[in-house]
Amino acid sequence: MPELPEVETVRMALVPALNDRFVTTAFVGRSDLRWPLPDRLADRLVGRRFGMPSRRGKFLLLPLDAGETMLLHLGMSGSVRIHDNAPQLATHDHFMLEMAPEQESGKPSFVVFNDPRRFGWIDLFQCDVHPMLQAMGPEPLGNEFSEAYLTAALSNRTGPIKTALLNQQIVAGIGNIYACEALFYAGISPRRKAGTIAGKRAQRLAAAIIKVLRAAIAEGGTSLRDHVQPGGEIGYFVQKLAVYGRAGEACNQCGAPIRMISQSGRSTFFCSHCQR
DNA sequence: AGAAGGCCCTGCGTGC
DNA sequence: TGCACGCAGGGCCTTC
């Protein structure tokens, strides 16, 4: 499910639930997610205080006291729910935190992590940057990301641009939906060799990536299948998708049917008339 | 080094 | 109604 806009939506919802609040209880259901959960995770969290949640690419970084940080990746099917009453745990609820009552409302918060496919990932780390995040490319909504950066990062790459956009070392946070959408708005074929993206094309692509991610965040992300925001609301960006999931339907710009192809084992949706 | 495919796992829709 | 198959928002690992 979750690409940058969905993870950002989760991050924003976690701020009031976690920031400057203490863990009362921690629950671990299954500990065999993508990788085994850290040893004694629940014990190590009780009594700790969280700081301000941040995000890097599709990773959530939840700082604790004593310089430690909890890392959370939602994988393909992970989601977070936040309740102010003790929830009935459901199938695939693998992890839960109960946070001490907030001063103003006097209410606790319950943060639940659910992940049917268990591609999600939870870790605790002490260093400044988690080893797995060392090589990650710049944030597309940050200052380092630009036409010039994109041109340099893509130069000499012979694979298709669509595949390059999914590479987190080139740009952080883009997944299958927004790679397709950004290429549509940039008018670039997903099959074009990445190394040929420069000048005007790089300018259009950088702008399209920023535009589509910002728009999706503003709509609360894209809800496909069972994905919802932490409060249970759905994200409305799904209604604005121009190509993703629309194989055979008419292109909004030219009316030609949207095509679906497979690239590196992932589905790609595009308009072969508008994208060159 | 970069590209492409396999694999991890469960659930759901489709077609027979 | 039941079953087999393919596909799903990610990312690491192996192979070429």
Domains in chain A: boundaries = 4-133, 147-270
Nearest 5 degrees, angle CA A238-CA A243-CA A247? Answer: 105
Residue with tokens 């001490």: A100
User: Which nt is closest to the CA of A222, judged by C1'?
Assistant: C9
pTM of the complete model: 0.96
A34, A44, A157, A266: which one is catalytic?
A266
Q: Please state whether strand B lies within 7 Å of residue A116 at its CB atom.
A: yes
Kindly list the distances between the CA atom of residue A143 and the CA atoms of A59, A146, A201, A202, A230, in Å, as whole numbers in the listed order.
19, 8, 19, 16, 28
CA distance A15 to A235: 18
DSSP A140: T
Question: Which CATH superfamily does the domain covering A4-133 fall into?
Answer: MutM-like, N-terminal (3.20.190.10)
Nearest 5 degrees, angle CA A77-CA A64-CA A213? Answer: 40
A11, A55, A58, A204: which one is catalytic?
A58
Q: What is the per-residue pLDDT for A226?
A: 57
- Residue A32 phi, psi dihedral angles, 5° rounding: -100, 75
Per-residue CB contacts under 7 A with strand B, chain A residues 220-239: 225-226
Is A147-270 CATH 1.10.8.50?
A: yes
Q: Please state whether strand B lies within 7 Å of residue A156 at its CB atom.
A: yes
Show which residues sit with Cβ under 7 A of nucleic chain C.
A 1-3, 6, 34, 57-59, 73, 75-77, 117, 119, 132, 166, 168, 175-177, 221-227, 265-267
Q: What is the per-residue pLDDT for A206?
A: 98
Q: Mean pLDDT of successive 10-residue segments in chain A (276 residues)?
A: 91 95 97 94 98 97 96 95 94 97 91 95 92 94 97 96 97 96 98 97 98 94 71 80 94 96 95 96
Q: What is the per-residue pLDDT for A276?
A: 95
Q: What is the per-residue pLDDT for A233?
A: 77
